């Protein structure tokens, strides 16, 4: 691992939601287990394992995995949608109340020339509702994006449309976040306070990934900051 450094002339900041903006990873892990329990404890345990190992991947892909790989059934879009609705009902109220990372609004004030967007594995409509209800939507001038599109698809689409302007920085908490950022040509920093990626230290060391505990660690009083051109200030 190396100390977090900001890319020079950064134009866009891209944020994952769960585990980066909201302390919501455990909420979603519990919800996957709860929904899958209707198929038995073994199925629920296996889905939770898959979920934790594939942080950042959408609920639709995970419920497809439940049907096809765990239950050995044919993929069924209607059944996947039913399970996704059950899951959404389970998590929505908790997402309105769970802790939010400190320092987010201060960071927005300090980066008035930088575009902000959310790119999450969470359901897009659900994310937009949660962010609006929590007074966060206005921080993200380039949108709040989620599933059923994958993060790779969202990043590719937003770069092609000109909404995601490079060079850009992705703040995430999973292996998939890092891999998607790399494929799209974004700089990446791993946010580790709430991650469920158990081997994140080793992974970041092997891949020379910059890390910070939380977004507030990018605040000038705690070590890292950048000016309007994203030049690092120590």
Tens of pLDDT, residue by residue over 84-139, are 999 999 999 999 999 999 999 999 998 899 999 999 999 999 999 999 999 999 99
- Residue 50 has a CB neighbour count (10 Å cut-off) of 18
Question: E strand or H helix at 92, and its extent?
Answer: helix 77-97
Confidence of residue 232 (pLDDT cuts 50, 70, 90): very low
pLDDT beyond 60 at 222: no
pLDDT higher than threshold 50 for residue 228: no
Instruction: Output the CA torsion 122→125→130→133 (10° steps).
Output: 170
Determine whether domain 2-22+100-233 maps to CATH 3.20.20.80: no
Three-state DSSP state, 37 = helix
Contact 190, 173 (CB under 8 A): yes
Helices (H), 21-58: 25-36, 41-53
DSSP string over 146-206: EETS-HHHHHHHHHHHTSSPSSEEEEESSHHHHHHHHHHT-EEEEE-TT---TTHHHHHHH
User: What percentage of the chain exceeds 90 in pLDDT?
Assistant: 83
pLDDT at 4 over 80: no
pLDDT digits (tens, 9 = 90+) for 165-220: 999 999 999 999 999 999 999 999 999 999 999 999 999 999 999 999 999 988 53
What per-residue confidence (pLDDT) applies to 110?
Answer: 86
**Residue 43 pLDDT more than 80?**
yes
Task: Assess whether pLDDT exceeds 70 at residue 6.
Answer: no
The DSSP-derived string for 104-115 is HHHHHHH-TTSE
Q: How far is CA 37 from CA 43, 49, 94, 172, in A?
A: 7, 13, 20, 29
CATH 1.10.150 placement within the chain:
25-97
Q: Binning pLDDT at 50, 70 and 90, where does residue 231 land?
A: very low
- Cα Rg for the chain, rounded, in angstroms? 18
CA distance 89 to 106: 32
Is residue 159 scored above 80 in pLDDT? yes
CATH of 25-97 among 1.10.10, 1.10.357, 1.10.150, 3.30.70: 1.10.150
Q: What are the start and end residues of each CATH 3.40.50.1000 domain in the chain?
A: 2-22+100-233
**Which tens digit of pLDDT belongs to each residue from 48-59?**
999 998 888 889
DSSP state of 4: -
Q: What is the model's pLDDT at position 150? A: 94
Closest CA to 192 of 178, 212, 177: 212
């Amino acid at each position: 691992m190396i100390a977090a450094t900001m890319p020079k002339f950064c134009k866009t900041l891209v944020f994952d939601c769960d585990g980066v903006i909201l302390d919501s990873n455990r909420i979603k892990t519990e919800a996957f287990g709860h929904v899958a329990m209707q198929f038995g404890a073994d199925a629920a345990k296996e889905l939770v394992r898959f979920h934790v190992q594939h942080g950042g991947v959408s609920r639709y892909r995970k419920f497809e995995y439940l049907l096809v790989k765990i239950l050995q059934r044919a993929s069924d879009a209607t059944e996947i949608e039913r399970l996704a609705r059950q899951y959404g009902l389970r998590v929505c109220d908790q997402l309105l109340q769970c802790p939010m990372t400190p320092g987010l609004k201060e960071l927005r004030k300090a980066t008035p020339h930088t575009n902000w967007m959310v790119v999450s594995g969470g359901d897009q409509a659900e994310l937009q509702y949660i962010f609006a209800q929590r007074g966060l939507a206005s921080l993200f001038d380039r949108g709040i994006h989620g599933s059923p599109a994958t993060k790779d698809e969202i990043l590719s689409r937003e770069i092609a449309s000109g909404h995601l302007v490079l060079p850009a920085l992705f703040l995430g908490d999973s292996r998939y976040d890092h891999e998607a950022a790399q494929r799209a040509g974004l700089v990446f920093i791993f946010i580790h306070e709430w991650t469920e990626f158990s081997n994140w230290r080793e992974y970041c060391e092997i891949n020379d990934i910059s890390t910070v505990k939380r977004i507030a660690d990018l605040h000038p009083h705690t070590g890292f900051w950048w000016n309007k051109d994203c030049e690092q200030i120590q």
